[in-house]
């Protein structure tokens, strides 16, 4: 098996999935279902012979929980887990914490769907004094406040995550490190759009299923050589 492999994984079922709420940067935990989903992903990866030298997750606990469950099953419990805000989910701004019914009632279905499926349009931003704003969250206290979003389009999310891909993940892949990257639906959509060269229109139809491994292999020039879905 080629050493230049990275496995992307969207976290499993979380508490706000139960009420169909837009989670974004809200730090909610996995449900029991989500833990089991992560364990099944780990079983599949282990059956395919995958092991990991390190994992990369967001600063939101649902990704760390997913990564730890996978690593426990693959037997890679000593692998370090690196957490970064750049792998956080897209920030949904004023939509965060609301369910689809509430959002449709406030802004209309057509506009709302453009916000969460499209590439360019950002959702309504949070006010600076809104308690949901990340500047009030201690985990971001060391970041320049100018970096903290009050709401992001997918394009904004992609601009946030690509420096981590280029500056942190790619050099590790080049060095032969076997990576598990556990993140969120929109963050992974942004990465896949970049890796596969998708247009914004094609990206709108891209889905990243929860807890289903997405395996990329790279050649010596770090170009994508192969891609396959697990499960």
Phi, psi of 14 (to 5 degrees): -115, 170
Query: Within a domain: residue 102?
Result: no
Answer yes or no: are the C-beta atoms of 8 and 191 closer than 8 Å: yes
Per-residue model confidence as pLDDT tens digits over 119-142:
999 999 999 999 999 999 999 999
Query: Within a domain: residue 142?
Result: no
pTM (whole model) above 0.85: yes
Query: Within a domain: residue 118?
Result: no
Q: Could you list the residue range(s) of the whole structural domain that residue 22 is in?
A: 5-91+152-229
Answer yes or no: are the C-beta atoms of 179 and 173 closer than 8 Å: yes
Per-residue model confidence as pLDDT tens digits over 76-94:
999 999 999 999 999 999 9
Cβ neighbours of 28 (radius 10 Å): 15
Query: Stretch 155-173: mean pLDDT, rounded?
Result: 97
**pLDDT for res 1:** 42
| Total domains, the chain | 1
Which positions ≥6 away from 91 have C-beta within 8 Å? 24, 25, 134, 149, 150, 151, 152, 157
Catalytic (active site) residue 91: no
Answer yes or no: are the C-beta atoms of 80 and 94 closer than 8 Å: no
Catalytic (active site) residue 82: no
Measured CA to CA, the distance from residue 4 to residue 43 in angstroms comes to 21
pLDDT band at 116 (very low <50, low <70, confident <90, very high): confident
Query: Within a domain: residue 213?
Result: yes
Asked whether the predicted pLDDT for residue 144 surpasses 50, the reply is yes
**pLDDT for res 115:** 87
Measured CA to CA, the distance from residue 139 to residue 99 in angstroms comes to 25
Asked whether the predicted pLDDT for residue 9 surpasses 60, the reply is yes
Query: Within a domain: residue 181?
Result: yes
Averaged pLDDT of the chain: 94
Query: Within a domain: residue 37?
Result: yes
Which CATH number characterizes residue 62's domain?
3.40.50.1240
Answer yes or no: are the C-beta atoms of 185 and 211 closer than 8 Å: no
**pLDDT for res 113:** 85
SS3 category, 55 = strand
Answer yes or no: are the C-beta atoms of 217 and 5 closer than 8 Å: yes
Query: Within a domain: residue 61?
Result: yes
What sign does the dihedral 142-144-147-149 (CA atoms) show? Answer: positive
Asked whether the predicted pLDDT for residue 19 surpasses 90, the reply is no
Query: Within a domain: residue 143?
Result: no
**pLDDT for res 100:** 86
Asked whether the predicted pLDDT for residue 7 surpasses 50, the reply is yes
**pLDDT for res 20:** 82
Asked whether the predicted pLDDT for residue 36 surpasses 60, the reply is yes
DSSP 21: B
Query: Stretch 156-166: mean pLDDT, rounded?
Result: 98
The one catalytic residue in 37, 44, 89, 152 is 89
């Amino acid at each position: 098996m080629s050493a230049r492999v990275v496995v992307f994984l969207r976290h499993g079922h979380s508490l706000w999935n139960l009420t169909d709420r837009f989670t974004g940067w809200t730090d909610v935990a996995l449900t029991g279902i989500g833990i089991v989903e992560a364990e099944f992903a780990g079983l599949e990866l282990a059956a395919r012979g995958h092991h990991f030298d390190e994992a990369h997750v967001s600063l939101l606990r649902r990704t760390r929980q997913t990564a730890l469950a996978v690593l426990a099953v693959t037997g890679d419990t000593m692998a370090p887990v690196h957490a970064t805000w750049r792998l956080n989910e897209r920030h949904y701004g004023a939509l965060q914490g609301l369910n689809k019914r509430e959002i449709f009632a406030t802004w209309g279905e057509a506009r709302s769907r453009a916000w969460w499926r499209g590439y360019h349009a950002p959702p309504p931003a949070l006010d600076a004094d809104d308690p949901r704003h990340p500047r009030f969250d201690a985990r971001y206290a060391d970041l320049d406040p100018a970096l903290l979003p009050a709401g992001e389009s997918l394009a904004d999310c992609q601009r946030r995550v690509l420096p981590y891909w280029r500056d942190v993940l790619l050099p590790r892949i080049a060095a032969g490190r076997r990576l598990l990257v556990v993140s969120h639906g929109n963050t992974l959509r942004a990465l896949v759009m970049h890796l596969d060269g998708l247009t914004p229109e094609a990206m709108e139809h891209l889905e990243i299923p929860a807890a289903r491994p997405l395996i990329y292999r790279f050649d010596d020039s770090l170009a994508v050589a192969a891609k396959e879905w697990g499960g």
